[in-house]
């Protein structure tokens, strides 16, 4: 446990040194540098979001990981229970091992084992997907960190006359300003 805490601390110190070295002369990091640093921070789930000043996402990330951890554990224990029950029945002429499952036929026990096994594997894949979304979110918002959205987004329409081979034709011109 102490080694894990030491490794995480060393990782965070290295990221902090990298974040400080990323800044250019005026103290501002470029979008690419900021995105790459946010991605590195994000290897520890939620740290990239904190780096991008979006700490409100951290409880969502850890809530998703906690939920997936529970579902992985639940499906693993169910898979293990039904596997042991199935193997016991196969080796003991369909005699049930656990009284709770005595009314189920052996084929149903095997089906339940397969179902829990499939769900266990799916939960692991979904957890990897959540981790990937954590990385992508930190990287994208690292790029968009300094993106300015002006409140003066407008469109104007002006009628005009355009000269063609036939003569003058009425037209509409659109101007977008951002």
| Digit-coded pLDDT (tens) for 1-15 | 666 665 565 555 554
CA 82 and chain centroid, separation: 32
Out of 43-47, 49-53, 80-84, 159-163, pick the least confident: 159-163
pLDDT, residue 68, reads 97
* Mean pLDDT rounded to a whole number for the chain: 83
- Cβ(119)–Cβ(76) below 8 Å: no
Question: If pLDDT is split at 50, 70 and 90, which confidence band does 24 have?
Answer: very low
- Cβ(71)–Cβ(159) below 8 Å: no
Tokens of 86: 């199935």
- CA distances from residue 130 to 12, 16, 62, 77, 87 in whole angstroms, order as listed: 21, 25, 10, 22, 34
pLDDT, residue 69, reads 97
Q: What is the full DSSP assignment across 73-131?
A: HHHHHHHHHHHHHHHHHHHTTT--SSGGGTTS-HHHHHHHHHHHHHHHHHHHHHHHHHH
User: Pseudo-torsion of CA 137, 65, 5, 33, nearest 10°?
Assistant: 0
Can you say whether the dihedral through the CA atoms of 9, 10, 11, 13 is positive or negative? positive
User: What Rg, from alpha-carbon coordinates, does the chain have?
Assistant: 29
What is the tens place of the pLDDT at every residue in 79-130?
999 999 999 999 988 888 888 888 999 999 999 999 999 999 999 999 999 9
Question: If pLDDT is split at 50, 70 and 90, which confidence band does 19 have?
Answer: very low
């Amino acid at each position: 446990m102490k080694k894990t805490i030491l490794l995480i601390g060393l990782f965070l110190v290295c990221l902090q040194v990298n974040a400080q070295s990323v800044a250019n002369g005026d103290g501002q990091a470029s979008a690419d540098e900021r995105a790459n640093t946010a991605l590195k921070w994000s290897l520890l789930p939620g740290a990239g979001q904190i780096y991008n000043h979006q700490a409100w996402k951290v409880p969502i990330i850890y809530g998703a990981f906690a939920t997936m951890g529970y579902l992985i554990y639940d499906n693993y224990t169910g898979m293990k229970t039904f596997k042991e029950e199935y193997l016991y029945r196969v080796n003991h002429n369909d005699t049930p091992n656990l009284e709770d499952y005595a009314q189920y036929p052996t084929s149903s026990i095997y089906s339940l084992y397969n179902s829990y096994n499939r769900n266990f594997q799916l939960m692991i894949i979904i957890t990897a997907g959540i981790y990937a979304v954590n990385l992508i979110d930190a990287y994208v918002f690292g790029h968009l960190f300094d993106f300015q959205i002006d409140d003066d987004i407008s469109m104007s329409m002006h009628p005009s006359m355009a000269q063609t081979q036939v003569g003058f034709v009425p037209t509409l011109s659109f101007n977008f300003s951002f």
